[in-house]
A = this chain, B = another copy of it.
Amino acid sequence: MTSDLQPETINNTSNFNTTEKMNVGTLLFKRLSKVTKSVFGVPGDFNLKLLENIYKVPELKWVGNNNELNAAYVADGYSRINPHNFACLITTYGVGELSALNGIAGSFTENIGVLHIVGTSASRIKKMTSGLEEKDALFKQIHHLIPGPKSYSKQNHEVYENIVAPFSCVAERLTPEDVINGTIQFKIDNAISTVIKENKPGYLFIPSDISEDIVPCNLSLSLEPKRNEKLSFAEKEVLSTILNKIYEAKNVGLVADYFLKNDRENVENLLEKSKWPVYSTPGSRGLCFDESIENFKGVFCNETSHPNVLESVKNHDLILHLGSNINETSFRYYDPVKSKWLQDANIVFLGKEYAMFGFAKEIIKEIDGVKIFRELFKQIQYKKISEAPLNKTIPKFSNSYDLTSVNKIEDKLFENQLSYELSTNYLQENDIVICEMTSFTFEMENIKLPKNARAIAQGFYASIGYALPACVGVCKALKDYSLESKHRVVLIQGDGSAQMTLQEFSLFLAHDLKPVIFMLNNSGYTIERAIMGETSSYNDLTTNWKWTKIFEAFGDELKEKHESRTINNYTELKEYMQQDIDQEKLQMVELILQKCDYSNGLKTFLGKP
């Protein structure tokens, strides 16, 4: 994929204010500082020279991570809050970049813009080695770089670069030729703006001996991807078809999915004027509109939707599924029988770069879904819309459960009780709830979000351990962009998942970040137990972690920065949730749950009775 940035404008050095020159490292960080305020990662001898230059750009701060996978997760969280939809991590050759790959794959899957910059072997060494015979190259094998198939094979300095294509939307390699040709800035800018435009990870490979080279630059060029404003013929067709459908319909329902995330204001405006019932999806909770509005009717996830919600959706004579991000955990099409209703539904999907009229009908490609939505928003004539008779049988989405379906046992604690309490007592306006891929994830659909609250999860890629570092990124971005006082951050973390990325807890201390952490201690991999091996040893954790002691071991022995407590039963939970907690400190709240406590949400998802 290429960006809309016109190569002519910046590829040609004559367009540059050529009095301006600086070294590659400084230029990189200057450009990054336009779209982010923190850079994550881990140093290594292949990126040290580069990193030295970050201190020349005071607007940008280095935030060191404990390891590279965590750095990628932190960056992902940061990008979700950063108004530029962007984050950046820097790693070192091989050891660092490969460690981060799973995190990058997650961002690719979840459509998050993250630029992964890798310090690679020196171009001088690359060049020298490529000119050597095998017998001489044997004595020039360098560290962090895997050998070839035979122990005497020449090392392939591009071996790591060669595997990133499926995981990224852009991969730029800086070379000494770029220094000579003045194309360094073009490549840097292209990497940044493509990442932003595509909502996908990108790679920028920088040999260790290039960052000090002086190159021309033009710092005033914009990095925000430019969209071609005019609709193409196909886009016009799609738009007018949708508009006609809207005008014909009597009872329109809108599913606002992930790719509308940058159009929150437009969506809310449209909803106010159209009065359409609206649904979020498991992947867009609170993301594209405020779920406390009257129009909100619930979370649509096809077969596993709450029966009332599914009923309500089926009732529409036109379903606009806009910003569609179709996948197994968000859309949930599993059973052709249960999903039979879709065959006949008058449903329109408008995805990132396609449209579809009707379920599983022709994919109309090479269009820009967001652009069409924006144009729709501009062109729609509200007087032509029929106001649907508000379906009285479908209540405004209110509470997660009737009180009757919540477990009443008071001296133990169950996940359903937690979701009930979160919905009714705990969550506040503007809260950001980050939920790990745990049994509780499926309970999220039952949770009511207050005004402007939103949820974050890696629902589809579903790599456990993601949420904890992502929460660091979210909190850091809120701080960087002065939004910290507006949003409380609530992390709902599984114990098994927390094992994976445990060390990143230290960043909450290091950067004075103060989320509330609910640590769901259910002694193992409960979600897996529900699938198979309920009592099998492989679903146990490695040890009996002392969650309330963790921040002490990580440096806050005097509890200056954190508070911790254990909640053993429903009575204690209710008490805690009604308390006014000192939000000057990071909160670690360990919840002791049952080993095989499968929440209502999980049971529904797995089709368990």
Chain A: residues with CB nearer than 8 A to chain B?
Answer: 1, 43-45, 48-49, 51-52, 54-55, 62, 64-67, 69, 94-95, 98-99, 101-102, 105-106, 108-109, 111, 134-136, 138-147, 149-152, 156, 159, 163, 166-167, 169, 325-329, 331, 333, 351-354, 356, 359-363, 365, 460-465, 499-503, 506-507, 509-510, 525, 528, 531-533, 536-546, 549-550, 552-555, 557
**A to B CB contacts below 8 Å, 21 in the list:** A43-B525, A43-B538, A43-B539, A52-B532, A52-B533, A55-B536, A66-B499, A67-B501, A95-B462, A95-B463, A101-B101, A139-B359, A140-B333, A141-B460, A146-B166, A146-B167, A150-B352, A151-B351, A163-B163, A546-B553, A553-B553
**Is the Cβ of B67 less than 8 Å from the Cβ of A499?**
yes
Task: Tell me, rounded to whole Å, the shortest Cβ–Cβ distance linking A362 to chain B.
Answer: 6
Task: Say whether B461 contacts A95, CB under 8 Å.
Answer: yes
Stoichiometry (number of copies): 2
In the complex, the answer to whether B553 meets A557 with C-beta atoms within 8 Å is: no
Task: Say whether A503 contacts B510, CB under 8 Å.
Answer: no
| B residues in contact with A333, CB < 8 Å | 139-140
Contact partners of A134 in chain B: CB under 8 A: 363
Q: B151–A352 contact, CB under 8 A?
A: yes
Additional pairs, 10, CB under 8 Å, beyond known A544-B555, A545-B554? A45-B532, A51-B533, A95-B105, A139-B331, A144-B463, A146-B166, A146-B167, A150-B352, A502-B502, A506-B542
Given A151-B325, A542-B506: A461 in contact with B94 (beta carbons within 8 A): yes
A69 touches B66 (CB 8 A): no
A317 to B506, CA, bound (A): 57
Interface centre among A51, A98, A163, A506 (most CB of B within 10 A): A98
Using CB atoms, name the residue of chain B closest to A553.
B553
Closest to A137 in B: B360
Q: Which residue of B lies closest to A67 (CB)?
A: B500
A542 to chain B, nearest CB (A): 4
Chain B residues positioned under 8 Å from A549 (CB to CB): 549, 552-553, 557
CA distance A163 to B101 in the complex (A): 12
Chain B hits for A109, CB < 8 A: 145-147
For residue A164, which residue of chain B has the nearest CB?
B163
B557 and A546: CB pair below 8 A?
A: yes
Chain B residues near A99 (CB-CB < 8 A): 69, 102, 463
Q: Are B331's CB and A144's CB within 8 A?
A: no
Tell me the bound Cα distance from A158 to B460 in angstroms: 18
**Shortest beta-carbon contacts, A-B, top 5:** A553-B553, A95-B463, A543-B555, A98-B102, A506-B543
Q: Complex Cα distance A536/B461, Å? A: 36
Nearest chain-B residue to A163 (Cβ)?
Answer: B163
Cross-chain contact B360 with A135 (CB below 8 angstroms): yes
Q: Is the CB of A150 within 8 A of B542?
A: no
Given A98-B101, A144-B462, A146-B167: A45 in contact with B543 (beta carbons within 8 A): no
The 8 Å CB contact of A52, one of B67, B105, B536, B550, is B536
Q: Report the bound CA distance from A92 to B1 in whole Å.
A: 30
Whether A151 contacts B353 in the complex (CB less than 8 A), given A545-B554, A546-B555, comes out as: yes
**Partner of A532 from B48, B144, B353, B539 at Cβ < 8 Å:** B48
Cβ of A135 to closest chain B Cβ, rounded Å: 5
Hey, which chain B residues are within 8 Å of A151, CB to CB?
111, 325-326, 351-354
With the chains together, A108 CA to B94 CA distance in Å?
Answer: 12
Q: CA of A158 to CA of B482 in the docked complex: distance in angstroms?
A: 44
Interface contact B545-A462, CB-CB below 8 Å: no
Residue of B nearest to A99 (CB): B102
Contacts A135-B361, A146-B166, A325-B151 given: A545-B506 contact, CB under 8 Å? yes
Shortest beta-carbon distance from A186 to chain B in Å? 22
A543 CA to B533 CA in the complex, in Å?
A: 38
- Min Cβ gap A557→B in Å is 6
Enumerate chain B residues within 8 angstroms of A141, measured Cβ to Cβ. Answer: 326-328, 460
> Known: A360-B135, A552-B553. Is A502-B500 also a contact (CB below 8 A)?
no
User: Given the complex of chains A and B, what is the CA–CA distance between A502 and B99 in angstroms?
Assistant: 15
CB distance from A172 to the nearest CB of B (A): 17
Residue of B nearest to A462 (CB): B143
B329 touches A531 (CB 8 A): no
What is the chain B residue whose CB lies nearest that of A366? B150
Assembled-state Cα–Cα distance A555/B147 (Å): 40
Within 8 Å CB of A52, what residues of B? 532-533, 536
Contacting A540 at CB < 8 Å: which of B64, B136, B460?
B64
Cα(A166)–Cα(B532), bound, Å: 34
What separation, in Å, do the CA atoms of A539 and B62 have in the docked complex? 11
